[in-house]
Chain A
Amino acid sequence: MSLDEFFVTGDPLILGSQIAIGLTMVGLVALITYLKRWKWLWREWFTTVDHKKIGIMYILAGVLMFFRGGVDGLLMKAQTSRPELGFLDAQHYDEIFTTHGVIMILFMAMPLLIGIMNVVVPLQIGARDVAFPKLNALSFWLFFVGAMLFNISFVIGGSPDAGWTSYFPLAGKEFTPGVGNNYYAIALQIAGIGTLATGINFVVTIIKMRAPGMSWMKMPIFTWTSFVTSILIVAAFPIFTVALAFMSLDRLFGTHFFTVAAGGDPMLWLNLFWLWGHPEVYIVVLPAFGMFSEVIATFSRKNLFGYKSMVYAVAGIAFLSMLVWVHHFYTMGNSAAVNSIFSLTTIMIAIPTGVKIFNWLFTMRKGRIEFSNAMLWSLAFIPCFTIGGVTGVMLAMAAADYQYHNTMFLVAHFHYVLIPGVVFAVFAGLYYWWPKMFGFKLNEKIGKWHFWLFVIGFNMTFMPMFFVGLDGMSRRMYTYSESTGWAPWLGFSAVGSVVMAAGFAALCYNIYWSFRYASRDVGSDPWNGRTLEWATASPAPHYNFAVVPEVDRIDDFWYKKKEGKTGIKKSDLKPVHMPSNSWTPIFLGVAFGIVGFFLVFEWFTLAVISSILIVIGLVANSFDYDDGYHIPVDELEEEEREWRGELK
């Protein structure tokens, strides 16, 4: 392979990106060296097993990926803003919608949600860390390496270009011979292993590590939704692992799982992909529902209406979510029985979702609503998401779906589900839990700019897509003619995407501004919260709780505050056992990245040689006898005194 095949060449946009990436990397290395921060980075972040720091790294990576995926979106909107534009050619457009989809779902939504889960769940259940802290670090590094591997595709070797669903036969070697779709198969596999480990970790954490007294029906609702999401991860991700393994074998080693020629079946890929892909939608949306529930209850000053029905609704959604996958390909030409059954299950899933909408509305009814930023996002979520849900029921009807299938109507629908359902939730969650992570609030005034620009821009961008979709515009069209009459709609939509981008810029500015100027004096419980994460200092100390709290009822902390029983006694302090940092997770992550890179380029000798690194990492990990360390009582006392005052 010659050098100009290795690097993608010939496009000024990509050349610009290559130069920008190169300069940023050099700049970062120089800056860290200049500030003498390498040791600090290694000690405090790269080798950490602290769930809060891992969560923050997930969130940081998620915001970065949001930027990358967002730029992809803007490029697409620019290309379709006018008829017959030549800004992007068809191939480049294909690559961009592919990476946009993969990055937004797997490298933006997932890490932001898992990041917030990481920070919040152990705090909410009164635990000091997750069940397997080192595995948690490994999860992060595998995700991160997978994401980076996927991201370099557009400058090295070429991007995947078969859509985020990568349907066969297009995604097979015969039709896309380059390395692009190898990136898809390998990078998602690596990140997927990390996600699966996260799922296992949180199932065990929530089953085994709840504070004394916190029975199932006393668990905060966000913990419930995280629990159900983790179960869905464990149930669904192995299917994707298998599908990607088949894909890799087909592409790298010439097997024929998905090629008709030798008796394979491309529809098997669709089937497996959506067996994972549909639960995946609920994997990202359930924790988001949990966040809205926490935020709405807190800022309505009421307990969550119908807590139990909420729990049952979440469980019901999880159960049904494994039974609806065929609605993504009704048009494969299935029997009437198959399409009818899957229509039914799909429509049924709207029922528990409707239950939740009413629960949120009734939680707010007669509440003393405070319009903080977190609450604003939750309020905007309800109508926007309902539009997404109702159009979903339209799509669920198999007969009607033959009209909507693969049109812009569908694209508008799932953006109306995923952006309010996930992105709004993440924003609400970030504003809400930011003080718990960093010890200061994000600015409310800049936050309002962020909110209004983003919500208005979002509706401007995606509402027109419903109409061009109904008018027959299919998805993934890179251009269209003047005579279609779509130009005004799509032009308006493009303007909307710029407004939405301005909203995102306001968030970034808000983070920057608040880091520099926001008041550090916010106390441990700035929102008058209801759950245990507010019972400890902000930012939470590395041991989380000096004394493990005991729980008598739901929203226990809320009642304890009223009873004035939130203090701790000096005599209750005992040395706290904490896990030690470890270098093996990041080492294994990098090793997987190197092997993955060689596999993408089908340099098998190098891949085999470098996989020795993985073995070294695993062996080193097995012989690691470090049992962690104990934080002595005086240290605990000193840290607690700082925010509680003198202990009794």
Chain B
Amino acid sequence: MSSTHSSRFPWNHLIGFILSIALTLLAVFVKFYTSFSDSIVVWIIGTLAIFQALIQLFMFMHVTEGKEGWINVVNMIYSVFLALVIVFGSIWVLTSGHAAMH
């Protein structure tokens, strides 16, 4: 992976740069030039933000590189998994069964 860095043109960075600008403009577009309801706009922008974060992590912050770069990836996947379990698990547990019958 490191050998591609020194001599060749940094395509990764260029693509990442263009994509991140495109995603930002898309978010602006969705907000100002479409007539979606606010909640849909938030969902779209949220989704775009996740892609934005992934681009930053992989193309600029090089999470997978280095001797034990995979640890970062495992760490992030595990954190996301935990967050999902905690948030959606709690909602599920507290709003089903008798709790749902208010």
Contacts and interface: CB of A to CB of B under 8 A. Distances in A.
Do A and B interact?
Answer: yes
Interface of A: 207, 231, 235, 239, 265, 267-268, 271-272, 275, 322-323, 325-326, 332-335, 337-338
A207 B67 CA distance: 11
Contacts of A333: 97-99
A323 B94 CA distance: 15
Given A207-B68, A207-B71, A334 B97 contact: yes
Interface of B: 68, 71, 78, 82, 85-86, 89-90, 92-94, 96-100
Given A207-B68, A334-B99, A235 B82 contact: yes
Contacts of A322: 82, 85
19 contacts: A207-B68, A231-B78, A267-B99, A268-B94, A272-B90, A275-B89, A275-B90, A322-B82, A322-B85, A325-B89, A326-B93, A332-B97, A332-B98, A332-B99, A334-B96, A335-B96, A337-B96, A338-B93, A338-B96
A271 B94 contact: yes
Contacts of B89: 275, 323, 325
Contacts of B92: 338
B16 to A, nearest CB: 28
B60 to A, nearest CB: 23
A338 B98 CA distance: 12
Contacts of A207: 68, 71
A338 B90 CA distance: 11
A275 B85 CA distance: 10
B96 A239 contact: no
A253 to B, nearest CB: 23
A267 B89 CA distance: 13
Q: Which of A239, A268, A333, A335 has the most CB of B within 10 A?
A: A335
A332 B96 CA distance: 11
A332 B99 CA distance: 9
A335 B90 CA distance: 13
A239 B83 CA distance: 11
B43 to A, nearest CB: 26
Contacts of B96: 334-335, 337-338
A317 to B, nearest CB: 15
A272 B91 CA distance: 11
B52 to A, nearest CB: 25
Contacts of B97: 332-335, 338
Contacts of A337: 96
Nearest to A326: B93
A323 B98 contact: no
Contacts of B82: 235, 322
A265 B98 CA distance: 13
Contacts of B98: 332-334
Given A275-B89, A326-B93, A332-B97, 11 more contacts: A231-B78, A268-B94, A275-B86, A275-B90, A322-B82, A323-B85, A325-B89, A332-B99, A334-B96, A334-B97, A338-B97
A239 B86 contact: yes
A275 B100 CA distance: 21
Q: Which of B85, B89, B92, B100 has the most CB of A within 10 A?
A: B89
Nearest to B90: A271
Given A322-B82, A332-B98, A333-B98, A271 B71 contact: no
B14 to A, nearest CB: 33
Contacts of B100: 335
Nearest to B92: A338
B89 to A, nearest CB: 8
Nearest to A265: B94
Contacts of A323: 85, 89
B91 to A, nearest CB: 10
B98 to A, nearest CB: 3
Contacts of A338: 92-93, 96-97
B78 to A, nearest CB: 8
B10 to A, nearest CB: 29
B6 to A, nearest CB: 27
Contacts of B68: 207
B93 A271 contact: yes
A350 to B, nearest CB: 20
B44 to A, nearest CB: 30
B86 to A, nearest CB: 6
Nearest to B101: A333
Contacts of A335: 96-97, 100
Nearest to A235: B82
A4 to B, nearest CB: 43
A322 B93 CA distance: 14
A268 B71 CA distance: 33
B85 to A, nearest CB: 6
A494 B89 CA distance: 41
Contacts of A231: 78
A323 B85 CA distance: 8
A556 B92 CA distance: 49
A326 B91 CA distance: 12
Q: Which of B82, B93, B100 has the most CB of A within 10 A?
A: B93
A333 B68 CA distance: 46
Contacts of A271: 90, 93-94
A207 to B, nearest CB: 6
Nearest to A342: B93
B29 to A, nearest CB: 37
Contacts of B78: 231, 235
Contacts of B71: 207
Nearest to A268: B94
A329 to B, nearest CB: 9
A265 B99 CA distance: 10
B35 to A, nearest CB: 34
Contacts of B90: 268, 271-272, 275
